[in-house]
Structure 1
Amino acid sequence: MPQQPQRGRIGRTLPTARLIRGAALAASVAVLPLVTACSAAEEEVVMNSDPSKISAAPEAGVVAPAKVEVIADLTGCKPTIRIEADELRQGLCHTEKIDYLITTFPEEEYKQAWLDSAAVYGGKYLVGSRWIVSAKEPEMLEQFRAKLGGTVQQLRGMGPTVAPSAS
Protein backbone atom coordinates (compact mmCIF):
# COMPACT_ATOMS: atom_id res chain seq x y z
CA MET A 1 0.00 0.00 0.00
CA PRO A 2 1.60 3.36 -1.03
CA GLN A 3 2.19 5.80 1.79
CA GLN A 4 0.29 9.10 1.79
CA PRO A 5 2.43 12.27 2.20
CA GLN A 6 2.26 13.74 5.69
CA ARG A 7 0.04 16.75 6.01
CA GLY A 8 0.41 19.75 8.30
CA ARG A 9 -2.23 21.53 10.37
CA ILE A 10 -3.61 23.41 7.38
CA GLY A 11 -3.75 20.47 5.00
CA ARG A 12 -0.68 21.27 2.90
CA THR A 13 2.05 18.76 2.52
CA LEU A 14 4.83 19.59 4.97
CA PRO A 15 7.53 20.39 2.37
CA THR A 16 5.21 22.90 0.66
CA ALA A 17 4.35 24.58 3.96
CA ARG A 18 8.07 24.80 4.80
CA LEU A 19 8.84 26.35 1.41
CA ILE A 20 6.12 28.96 1.83
CA ARG A 21 7.21 29.74 5.39
CA GLY A 22 10.85 30.00 4.29
CA ALA A 23 9.99 32.25 1.36
CA ALA A 24 7.93 34.59 3.55
CA LEU A 25 10.65 34.76 6.19
CA ALA A 26 13.36 35.30 3.58
CA ALA A 27 11.35 38.09 1.94
CA SER A 28 10.81 39.89 5.23
CA VAL A 29 14.46 39.53 6.23
CA ALA A 30 15.61 40.73 2.80
CA VAL A 31 13.74 44.00 3.36
CA LEU A 32 15.34 44.59 6.77
CA PRO A 33 18.52 46.31 5.54
CA LEU A 34 16.41 48.77 3.61
CA VAL A 35 14.42 49.91 6.61
CA THR A 36 16.77 49.60 9.54
CA ALA A 37 19.84 51.55 10.50
CA CYS A 38 23.19 49.87 10.93
CA SER A 39 24.15 49.21 14.51
CA ALA A 40 27.52 49.51 16.18
CA ALA A 41 29.36 46.26 16.84
CA GLU A 42 29.54 46.85 20.58
CA GLU A 43 25.77 47.13 21.09
CA GLU A 44 24.22 44.37 23.15
CA VAL A 45 21.53 41.97 21.99
CA VAL A 46 18.39 42.56 23.98
CA MET A 47 15.83 39.85 23.43
CA ASN A 48 13.02 40.15 25.94
CA SER A 49 9.66 39.08 24.61
CA ASP A 50 8.20 38.19 27.99
CA PRO A 51 4.53 39.26 27.64
CA SER A 52 4.41 40.28 31.31
CA LYS A 53 6.99 43.00 30.57
CA ILE A 54 5.21 44.42 27.53
CA SER A 55 3.39 47.56 28.56
CA ALA A 56 0.10 48.78 27.25
CA ALA A 57 0.24 52.28 25.81
CA PRO A 58 -1.72 55.03 27.53
CA GLU A 59 -3.33 56.23 24.29
CA ALA A 60 -4.12 52.86 22.77
CA GLY A 61 -4.88 50.65 25.72
CA VAL A 62 -4.14 47.03 24.91
CA VAL A 63 -3.36 47.00 21.19
CA ALA A 64 -1.67 43.73 20.52
CA PRO A 65 -2.04 41.25 19.14
CA ALA A 66 -3.46 43.45 16.42
CA LYS A 67 -3.71 43.74 12.68
CA VAL A 68 -1.24 45.75 10.62
CA GLU A 69 -4.03 48.19 9.80
CA VAL A 70 -4.90 48.81 13.48
CA ILE A 71 -1.29 49.53 14.43
CA ALA A 72 -0.84 51.73 11.34
CA ASP A 73 -3.96 53.72 12.20
CA LEU A 74 -2.64 54.34 15.71
CA THR A 75 0.65 55.60 14.29
CA GLY A 76 -1.05 57.81 11.69
CA CYS A 77 -0.65 56.04 8.37
CA LYS A 78 -2.45 53.87 5.85
CA PRO A 79 -0.22 50.83 5.20
CA THR A 80 0.64 49.19 1.91
CA ILE A 81 0.57 45.44 2.55
CA ARG A 82 3.81 43.91 1.24
CA ILE A 83 3.62 40.36 2.57
CA GLU A 84 0.49 38.31 3.18
CA ALA A 85 1.45 34.83 4.40
CA ASP A 86 0.32 32.26 6.95
CA GLU A 87 3.31 33.10 9.16
CA LEU A 88 3.21 36.91 9.00
CA ARG A 89 1.64 40.02 7.51
CA GLN A 90 3.78 43.04 6.77
CA GLY A 91 2.77 46.54 5.83
CA LEU A 92 4.87 49.53 4.78
CA CYS A 93 3.96 52.93 6.17
CA HIS A 94 5.20 56.01 4.34
CA THR A 95 4.73 59.41 5.97
CA GLU A 96 6.38 62.81 5.47
CA LYS A 97 8.54 62.21 8.56
CA ILE A 98 9.40 58.51 8.38
CA ASP A 99 9.06 55.19 6.58
CA TYR A 100 8.54 52.12 8.73
CA LEU A 101 7.40 48.51 8.60
CA ILE A 102 4.71 46.90 10.72
CA THR A 103 4.86 43.12 10.92
CA THR A 104 2.25 40.98 12.69
CA PHE A 105 2.34 37.27 13.46
CA PRO A 106 -0.40 34.70 14.16
CA GLU A 107 1.76 33.03 16.84
CA GLU A 108 4.45 34.27 19.22
CA GLU A 109 6.87 31.60 17.91
CA TYR A 110 6.82 33.19 14.43
CA LYS A 111 7.69 36.57 15.94
CA GLN A 112 10.62 35.03 17.81
CA ALA A 113 11.88 33.33 14.62
CA TRP A 114 11.69 36.69 12.81
CA LEU A 115 13.65 38.40 15.61
CA ASP A 116 16.26 35.64 15.56
CA SER A 117 16.72 36.17 11.80
CA ALA A 118 16.81 39.96 12.19
CA ALA A 119 19.58 39.70 14.79
CA VAL A 120 22.03 39.15 11.92
CA TYR A 121 21.29 42.68 10.65
CA GLY A 122 21.10 44.42 14.01
CA GLY A 123 19.06 47.54 14.64
CA LYS A 124 16.31 48.66 16.98
CA TYR A 125 12.77 47.36 16.90
CA LEU A 126 9.57 48.11 18.79
CA VAL A 127 8.28 44.70 19.84
CA GLY A 128 4.84 43.86 21.19
CA SER A 129 2.72 40.79 21.58
CA ARG A 130 2.83 39.18 18.10
CA TRP A 131 3.89 42.41 16.33
CA ILE A 132 7.07 44.34 15.46
CA VAL A 133 7.64 47.87 14.16
CA SER A 134 10.95 48.68 12.47
CA ALA A 135 12.06 52.09 11.22
CA LYS A 136 15.02 53.73 9.51
CA GLU A 137 15.07 56.33 12.28
CA PRO A 138 15.08 54.25 15.48
CA GLU A 139 14.48 57.34 17.64
CA MET A 140 10.89 57.35 16.31
CA LEU A 141 10.27 53.99 18.00
CA GLU A 142 9.96 55.69 21.41
CA GLN A 143 7.21 57.94 20.02
CA PHE A 144 5.43 54.88 18.63
CA ARG A 145 5.89 53.13 21.98
CA ALA A 146 3.89 55.89 23.66
CA LYS A 147 0.99 55.06 21.34
CA LEU A 148 1.37 51.28 20.98
CA GLY A 149 3.12 49.98 24.08
CA GLY A 150 5.66 47.22 23.68
CA THR A 151 9.40 47.40 24.31
CA VAL A 152 12.24 48.79 22.24
CA GLN A 153 14.79 46.05 21.61
CA GLN A 154 18.34 46.54 20.33
CA LEU A 155 19.71 43.69 18.22
CA ARG A 156 23.42 43.44 17.48
CA GLY A 157 24.42 42.63 13.91
CA MET A 158 26.61 39.60 13.32
CA GLY A 159 28.17 40.59 10.02
CA PRO A 160 31.66 41.96 9.39
CA THR A 161 32.50 45.44 10.63
CA VAL A 162 34.07 48.11 8.47
CA ALA A 163 37.69 48.77 9.39
CA PRO A 164 39.57 51.93 8.40
CA SER A 165 41.86 51.46 5.42
CA ALA A 166 45.65 51.40 5.89
CA SER A 167 46.32 53.89 3.07
Structure 2
Amino acid sequence: MVRKLPRGAALAVTLAVLPLAAACSGGGEGDKASGKASDESSPVSAVVAPAKVEVIAELTGCEVKIRTEAEELREGVCQTGDGDYLITTFPKDELKEVWLESASMYGGKYLVGPRWAVSAKPDVLKKLKAKVGGTIRDLSQPSAS
Protein backbone atom coordinates (compact mmCIF):
# COMPACT_ATOMS: atom_id res chain seq x y z
CA MET A 1 0.00 0.00 0.00
CA VAL A 2 1.39 3.40 -0.98
CA ARG A 3 0.99 6.19 1.55
CA LYS A 4 0.46 9.73 0.35
CA LEU A 5 2.10 12.13 2.78
CA PRO A 6 1.69 15.86 3.18
CA ARG A 7 4.55 17.95 1.86
CA GLY A 8 6.60 18.41 5.07
CA ALA A 9 5.87 14.94 6.38
CA ALA A 10 7.62 13.29 3.43
CA LEU A 11 10.84 15.15 4.17
CA ALA A 12 10.51 14.39 7.89
CA VAL A 13 10.04 10.67 7.19
CA THR A 14 13.04 10.65 4.89
CA LEU A 15 15.23 12.43 7.43
CA ALA A 16 14.13 9.99 10.13
CA VAL A 17 15.16 7.04 7.94
CA LEU A 18 18.50 8.49 6.81
CA PRO A 19 20.43 7.21 9.85
CA LEU A 20 19.35 3.68 8.91
CA ALA A 21 20.38 4.15 5.29
CA ALA A 22 23.64 5.77 6.36
CA ALA A 23 24.35 2.83 8.65
CA CYS A 24 24.09 0.60 5.59
CA SER A 25 26.34 2.80 3.51
CA GLY A 26 28.92 4.13 5.93
CA GLY A 27 32.61 3.36 6.30
CA GLY A 28 34.17 0.34 4.69
CA GLU A 29 35.89 0.35 1.34
CA GLY A 30 36.49 3.85 0.04
CA ASP A 31 36.50 4.88 -3.58
CA LYS A 32 39.65 6.93 -3.18
CA ALA A 33 41.54 8.20 -0.16
CA SER A 34 40.45 11.71 -1.12
CA GLY A 35 36.81 10.79 -0.50
CA LYS A 36 35.74 12.32 -3.79
CA ALA A 37 33.22 10.82 -6.13
CA SER A 38 34.25 7.67 -7.91
CA ASP A 39 35.27 8.07 -11.51
CA GLU A 40 35.46 4.36 -12.25
CA SER A 41 34.30 3.72 -15.78
CA SER A 42 31.97 0.97 -16.80
CA PRO A 43 30.24 0.38 -20.11
CA VAL A 44 26.93 1.43 -18.57
CA SER A 45 28.16 4.41 -16.59
CA ALA A 46 27.92 6.64 -19.66
CA VAL A 47 24.19 5.91 -19.72
CA VAL A 48 22.39 7.02 -16.58
CA ALA A 49 18.98 5.74 -15.52
CA PRO A 50 16.03 8.14 -15.63
CA ALA A 51 14.49 9.46 -12.42
CA LYS A 52 11.73 6.92 -11.92
CA VAL A 53 11.85 4.48 -9.01
CA GLU A 54 10.33 1.63 -11.01
CA VAL A 55 12.75 2.04 -13.95
CA ILE A 56 15.82 2.09 -11.71
CA ALA A 57 14.49 -0.91 -9.80
CA GLU A 58 13.90 -2.86 -13.00
CA LEU A 59 17.42 -2.08 -14.24
CA THR A 60 18.85 -3.41 -10.98
CA GLY A 61 16.75 -6.58 -10.96
CA CYS A 62 14.52 -5.59 -8.07
CA GLU A 63 10.80 -5.87 -7.47
CA VAL A 64 10.47 -2.53 -5.68
CA LYS A 65 8.10 -1.74 -2.83
CA ILE A 66 7.11 1.95 -2.84
CA ARG A 67 7.13 3.24 0.71
CA THR A 68 6.88 7.03 0.30
CA GLU A 69 5.10 9.03 -2.34
CA ALA A 70 5.01 12.81 -1.98
CA GLU A 71 5.45 15.95 -4.07
CA GLU A 72 9.14 16.27 -3.09
CA LEU A 73 10.21 12.65 -3.50
CA ARG A 74 9.31 9.01 -4.07
CA GLU A 75 11.06 6.17 -2.30
CA GLY A 76 11.17 2.49 -3.00
CA VAL A 77 12.83 -0.32 -1.08
CA CYS A 78 14.66 -3.14 -2.86
CA GLN A 79 15.75 -6.41 -1.34
CA THR A 80 17.94 -8.53 -3.61
CA GLY A 81 20.60 -11.20 -3.34
CA ASP A 82 23.20 -8.46 -3.89
CA GLY A 83 21.89 -6.52 -0.88
CA ASP A 84 19.18 -4.15 0.25
CA TYR A 85 18.91 -0.59 -1.00
CA LEU A 86 16.67 2.44 -1.07
CA ILE A 87 15.89 4.27 -4.32
CA THR A 88 14.80 7.90 -3.93
CA THR A 89 13.68 10.04 -6.86
CA PHE A 90 12.93 13.76 -7.02
CA PRO A 91 10.94 15.97 -9.42
CA LYS A 92 13.83 18.49 -9.52
CA ASP A 93 17.60 18.26 -9.03
CA GLU A 94 17.39 21.06 -6.46
CA LEU A 95 15.28 18.84 -4.19
CA LYS A 96 17.81 16.02 -4.58
CA GLU A 97 20.62 18.36 -3.51
CA VAL A 98 18.64 19.51 -0.44
CA TRP A 99 18.05 15.86 0.45
CA LEU A 100 21.75 15.02 0.03
CA GLU A 101 22.73 18.04 2.12
CA SER A 102 20.46 16.75 4.90
CA ALA A 103 21.88 13.24 4.48
CA SER A 104 25.44 14.56 4.83
CA MET A 105 24.95 14.95 8.59
CA TYR A 106 24.77 11.14 8.73
CA GLY A 107 27.65 10.56 6.33
CA GLY A 108 27.87 7.50 4.13
CA LYS A 109 28.03 6.91 0.40
CA TYR A 110 25.24 7.31 -2.12
CA LEU A 111 24.89 6.52 -5.80
CA VAL A 112 23.58 9.70 -7.40
CA GLY A 113 22.16 10.43 -10.83
CA PRO A 114 19.96 13.10 -12.36
CA ARG A 115 17.04 13.53 -9.95
CA TRP A 116 17.72 10.27 -8.06
CA ALA A 117 19.86 8.78 -5.28
CA VAL A 118 20.39 5.22 -4.04
CA SER A 119 21.36 4.37 -0.45
CA ALA A 120 23.17 1.08 0.17
CA LYS A 121 26.39 -0.47 1.42
CA PRO A 122 29.44 0.58 -0.64
CA ASP A 123 29.91 -2.83 -2.31
CA VAL A 124 26.24 -2.84 -3.37
CA LEU A 125 26.56 0.72 -4.72
CA LYS A 126 29.44 -0.38 -6.97
CA LYS A 127 27.33 -3.20 -8.45
CA LEU A 128 24.37 -0.87 -8.96
CA LYS A 129 26.58 1.77 -10.61
CA ALA A 130 27.48 -0.74 -13.30
CA LYS A 131 23.77 -1.25 -13.99
CA VAL A 132 22.34 2.28 -13.78
CA GLY A 133 25.31 4.65 -14.07
CA GLY A 134 25.58 7.68 -11.83
CA THR A 135 28.31 8.78 -9.46
CA ILE A 136 29.18 7.48 -6.00
CA ARG A 137 29.26 10.44 -3.62
CA ASP A 138 30.91 10.18 -0.22
CA LEU A 139 28.94 12.43 2.11
CA SER A 140 31.22 11.77 5.08
CA GLN A 141 33.87 13.99 3.47
CA PRO A 142 33.42 17.74 3.14
CA SER A 143 32.69 18.56 -0.50
CA ALA A 144 35.12 20.80 -2.34
CA SER A 145 33.31 23.92 -3.48
Tell me whether the two structures share a fold, i.e. TM-score over 0.5.
Answer: yes
Question: For the Cα contact (< 8 Å) 2:88–2:117, is it kept in 1?
Answer: yes
Q: Give the superposition deviation at 1:55.
A: 9.7
Q: Give the superposition deviation at 1:88.
A: 0.5
Runs of 4+ aligned structure 1 residues displaced above 4 Å come to: 43-46, 54-57
Give the structure-2-normalised TM-score: 0.77
SS of the aligned residue for 1:26 comes to: helix
Aligned twin of 2:10: 24
Give the structure-1-normalised TM-score: 0.67
CA root-mean-square deviation: 3.0
Aligned twin of 1:81: 66
SS of the aligned residue for 1:101 comes to: strand
| Stretches of structure 1 lacking an aligned partner (at least 5 in a row) | 1-18, 49-53, 159-167
Aligned twin of 1:140: 124
Q: Which residue identity does 1:124 align to in structure 2?
A: K
Q: Give the superposition deviation at 1:104.
A: 0.5
Q: Which residue identity does 1:149 align to in structure 2?
A: G
Distance in 2, Cα, partners of 1:99 & 1:148: 16
| Stretches of structure 2 lacking an aligned partner (at least 5 in a row) | none
Aligned twin of 1:149: 133
Q: Count residues in correspondence.
A: 131
Question: For the Cα contact (< 8 Å) 1:58–1:147, is it kept in 2?
Answer: no
Distance in 1, Cα, partners of 2:17 & 2:107: 13
Q: Which residue identity does 2:10 align to in structure 1?
A: A
